[in-house]
Amino acid sequence: MFRSAARTAFTGLRVAASLQARRSAHTAATAGTTSRVSTLVAASIGAGAAAVALAQTQAECSWWNPISWFSSGTDFAALREDIEDIITDQTAGPLLVRLAWHSSGTYDKVSGTGGSNGATMRFSLEAGDGANAGLQVARALLEPLKAKYPGISYADLYTFAGVVAVEYMGGNTVEWKAGRTDAVDESACPPNGRLPDATQGAAHLRDVFYRMGFNDREIVALAGAHTLGRCHIENSGFDGPWTRDPNGMDNEFYRLLVDEKWTVRPQFTPLQYEDSSKELMMLPTDIALVTDPSFRQYVVKYAQDSDLWQADFAAAFAKLLELGVPRN
């Protein structure tokens, strides 16, 4: 028991150190942007209210765009820092990515229902979908930030937190715009069952993602989010991490899919796969990515080129978070 506790403590320290190192690298990488933002803010103020009003109609509302700070009443730079603190202190990066993903992945392009607008997972009808088990923890972590920044909608907060988490853990910059609104009751909730079912195969993945407007390449790119986090028996029934660095945005998920020999984990239900070390796992939908010829070609590309995957994931994730959001 002592050895187990000591190992857990050491692992926690190592993860925290790794996330702090990523934070330092991210801060250094964005220092130039911060300086440019400060200059833009000063210029905007000096130009007078008329110029700011004109710029507001022309500018995109992004966390790094100073005009959006005035128009939304939210200091996104400060909010980003608070989210990064949660990621570091609670090791919550993967969980926040999952919240943003599941908040958005209910979209149906035919009916125009679902998607990130509305933040309908706040209501028991959608929160109770089995695919969303455990996400009440993520929503609870963000609740103090909603109180601290009342000008931001829940829908913007959930998606922005996912963007911050991706970037903080080593991913590319994800294009994001504010402007989502919150639904007033659960009548806006999409039907349950629209999220991917991990027990299924390639045909199911296409049904789910084609419904949202994604193609095969984007499906495989988004599946790379499984390089983060782990499965918990109490939430999904599945158990274990996909990769050895569940807090790092890299292409290890694809490399493992291609290079490892995956076998069915014995005497375990639901069906999942294990690697030769028996420490890592893959879901049936993950294995479908290498058994389906169209999917496999992109798995191989991403396994060989991490930069390619990072770029494709950032673009596909940005597209996912925009689904169902009305824009003028």
* Residue 12 scores a pLDDT above 50: no
Q: Read off the pLDDT band of 144 (50, 70, 90).
A: very high
| Active-site residue, selected from the candidate residues 101, 102, 226, 309 | 102
118 pairs with which residues across the strands?
A: 182
Is 232 tagged catalytic?
no
**Quick one: DSSP state of residue 113?**
B
pLDDT higher than 50, residue 175: yes
As given in the structure block, the two tokens for residue 180 are 């989502």
Q: In which band, very low, low, confident or very high, does the pLDDT at 149 lie, cut at 50, 70 and 90?
A: very high
Confidence of residue 275 (pLDDT cuts 50, 70, 90): very high
When pLDDT is averaged across residues 55-68 and rounded to a whole number, the result is 37
**More confident of the two residues 52 and 315:** 315
At 45 the pLDDT is 32
pLDDT above 70 (res 13): no
User: Does residue 159 surpass a pLDDT of 50?
Assistant: yes
pLDDT over threshold 50, residue 72: yes
CA 225 to chain centre: 7
Structure-model confidence comparison of residues 35 and 30, the more confident one: 30
**Cα dist. 304→2, 119, 141, 229 in Å?**
41, 37, 36, 22
- For residue 68, the model assigns a pLDDT of 39
User: Is 287 within 8 Å of 204 (Cβ atoms)?
Assistant: no
275 phi and psi angles, rounded to 5 deg: -85, -175
Round to whole Å and give the CA distance between 163 and 318.
8
Task: Tell me the residue type at 200.
Answer: Q
pLDDT of residue 207: 98
CB-CB contact of 150 with 156 (8 Å): no
Residue 97: its pLDDT value, please?
98
Percent above pLDDT 70 for the chain:
78
pLDDT, mean over the chain:
85
Selecting among 64, 101, 242, 262, the annotated active-site residue is 242
β 230-231/240-241 pair status: antiparallel
Confidence band (pLDDT; 50, 70, 90) for 328?
confident
Q: How far apart are CA 38 and CA 36, in angstroms?
A: 5
- Average the pLDDT over 75-91 and give the result: 97
User: In terms of C-beta distances under 8 Å and separation of at least 24 residues, what long-range contacts does 69-75 make, across chains too?
Assistant: 69/41, 70/44, 72/151, 72/152, 72/178, 73/151, 74/149, 74/151, 74/152, 74/178, 75/149
307 vs 122: CA distance, rounded Å: 35
pLDDT band of 23, cuts 50, 70, 90? low
| Cα-only R_g, the chain | 20
CA end-to-end span of the chain: 59
pTM value is 0.82
pLDDT at 25: 58
Query: Catalytic residue at 102?
Result: yes
